[in-house]
Amino acid sequence: MEHQPPQSAHARRCRNERGEHMRAHTYPVGSGLLTPTRRGRRVVWLACVAGVLLTALGFILRVAPFDAPAVEALNRAHTGAWGQIADAIYFMLEPVPAAFLTLLILITIAAVLRSVRTAIVFGGIVALTWLPTAAIKVVVDRPRPDIFTLIHPFTPAQVDGSFPSGHTAFIAALSIAFWFLLRGTRGASIALITGTVSTVIVGLAVVSDGLHYPTDVLASIAWAIAMAPTARWVMVDVIAPRLERYRKRS
């Protein structure tokens, strides 16, 4: 066996410095979620502008569904195992199951981190990002893809608005909340990759089901990216300090 020369004192010192540097830049889980927002007005304006632009886009797409052929193409692949998976994804992320899933995650966060505050902020980010899409649906009222053009139409037929996709908005909001939770830790990149993959899969599923247009999915992702920082600002910088002052007075 070839003899390896001993490391020099300089090499050992550099390795120790790199380890200390990594430890110094790794923060406790949840600290990135609870850190006050530096530019609160900017994130609020971003969410407002995004809401106006996406609503305007929804009205345009309502009369010009140029992406209908993409729905028909993906719906043709809605067979076999993928068809069953896509249907299961849609049913599992309906509002009631999604709310229960969020509640389960909040209980887990509170138990593991021993922080009810962290769990509440996490839940608030998901809710304030996800739920407004229901209002946009009502305002825009974009019809669902025409079931008569689909080879595998979804049953039961969905009659509410198509734009944006609530299922995609939920999984995107959940993914961003997890990224906030793990921001500054070694798990942040894992949360980002997992969240991106999950959002893409859900988006493909709802389009393959024939329930949404690709633009519905993209609008939901854009909304979540714009709104989640504002939701965090509301929870961390607005609601949390008031609750803390109320707790101290009582």
Over residues 179-237, the pLDDT tens digits come to: 999 998 889 999 999 999 999 999 999 999 999 999 999 999 999 999 999 999 999 99
pLDDT in tens, 165-194: 999 999 999 999 999 999 988 899 999 999
Give the number of other Cβ atoms within 10 Å of residue 67's Cβ: 18
* Spatial distance between the Cα atoms of 67 and 43, rounded to a whole number of angstroms: 30
Using CA of residue 159, residue 162, residue 166, residue 171, what is the dihedral sign? positive
pLDDT in the model for residue 129: 97
Q: Are 183 and 32 in contact (CB under 8 A)?
A: yes
